[in-house]
Structure 1
């Protein structure tokens, strides 16, 4: 039997305030040590199989070297679905954003291989047709990871800038946003060492990235889940990536409609019973 992940995680007022002010927060033991291994087994097995599609790391560009990226695994496995749709995680997301309910946008396994490259500065939400919508990403290692393996870095407070335009994860985004962070004087914050089941949550507009994986043997195994507020409206895509996301994550829907396709189930609402 897989762990239910349905019990509440008691957020403090300080943790919620930290998220609202800085655009990110680190929470310890969101999942207990004995809750992670059964899910890690299936997620890692599926991700390793998916990774066979990738070229050798030395043949990839900066984005490709940053991680193996495997999305919407919940569609392919009932076991992963149980993890991705977990009430505990979704309730945290809703409370941090200060909304009544959240829906799933999508999940992503992000596995940074041994000696894998850095993840350049970027905004997640620039990829999504969700302007004006509150979104948050859960980032959870499935194994204990040290800072040297490439845990998260954030430009605290940068979410206040909102949409900074179409800028894919790349050497260009690293240079542009590195200069912007310095110009604005945003404090840099690092997640540091994290245990399996710890998690960061960050706003869709928060500038963030990660160093490379300096470990020559161990993979940084991370699962992410992206949440959007309930009753959100899809915005009109202004570039090709957003057009692709509209087709992939909101099948059959159009700009101006509610972001609530069959791939966006309601995961938590405070009016619903546990």
Structure 2
């Protein structure tokens, strides 16, 4: 595949067995710094939204966000799992503020998503170092083989999703902390059980989730999907309608390296 990086850090065998794997040092420090500034910019523009919930509805008119999720290094990872024709389904910063960052209760991503078939890869890009102290991702290895569990509404504790699976389905003794440094990437299966603890530390914990789908996967939604963008390769006729990429506008958008020359593909 001329012109693209062949990534070998992740292991297909590990992913099949554990439901997740890790790639180290994927994104350079300068781009991570821009992403961190982007989070601060989004927080300032959305004062009524907790920073754990900077999500999909904001993506469609945000050139930097789309520049970030279409970075070739990230698409090269996704391509190993879903093939060369790649679309964005959803993306979400989960930025847990120092001191009172909310937990994400045990869940499986596939329970929430309107996708047919459920062919999707979740990529988690560390914007900050992510540790047990500040509420890193936790995974139950191998739980992707259980199938999807029933979701329950959870308002007994403040949490990011407002729901989770019954804890009787979770072997918490088997949980693994996914410890990442800024610029690292983890990927996980849509059925693997995962979550994260609250951030009571003195340090923010921010990660960007990116949900990539092959263009053969249909987004089943009555309304146009806010973050449906074709990022690499070709679409499939009569499967999804993809949104046009926005042109950067100094009056509406965050400035970033190359923004003046950034244009829809």
- The TM-score range, normalised by the shorter chain, is 0.7 to 0.9
The answer to whether the Cα contact below 8 Å between 2:152 and 2:165 also exists between their aligned partners in 1 is: no
Aligned: 1:155 with 2:140: yes
User: Counterpart in 1 of 2:187?
Assistant: 201
CA positional deviation for 1:22: 1.4
CA change 1:154–1:259 in 2 (3 A) is farther
Measure how far apart 1:102 and its partner are. Answer: 2.1
1:31-46 residue pairs with structure 2 within 5 A? 31-46=27-42
Structure 1 residues 7 and 150: alpha-carbon distance in aligned structure 2, compared to 1, 3 A threshold: farther
TM-score, length of structure 1 as denominator length: 0.71
- Return closer, same or farther for 1:36/1:175 CA change in 2, 3 Å cut-off: closer
- Report if the CA contact (8 A) 2:147-2:191 is conserved: yes
1:210-262 deviations in Å (ceiling 9; x for gaps) = 011021x3221221211112211345xxxxxxx57x643488xxxxx513432
Q: Which residue of 2 aligns with 1:213?
A: 199
Aligned to 1:58: none
Distance 2:44 2:169 in 1: 36
Change (3 A) 1:259 1:125: farther
Displacement, 1:82? Answer: 0.8
Q: Find the residue that maps to 1:108 and give its secondary structure.
A: strand
Q: Is the 8 A contact 2:124 2:187 kept in 1?
A: yes
Aligned pair partner of 2:13 in 10, 17, 26: 17
Q: CA RMSD in A?
A: 3.1
Post-superposition offset of 1:94: 2.3
CA distance in 2, matches of 1:74, 1:105: 11
User: Which position in structure 1 is the counterpart of 2:263?
Assistant: none
Matched, 1:187 2:174: yes
Q: Of residues 242, 248, 273 in structure 1, which corresponds to 2:225?
A: 248
- Counterpart Cα distance in 1 of 2:147 and 2:43: 32
Rounded to whole Å, the distance in 1 between the matches of 2:109 and 2:122 is: 9
1:129 is displaced (CA, Å) by 1.3
Q: Decide which structure has greater helix share.
A: 1
Partner in structure 2 of residue 271 of structure 1: none
Match of 2:67 among 77, 82, 89: 82
Can you give the 5+ residue segments of structure 2 that lack an aligned partner in the other structure? 157-161, 229-237, 246-265
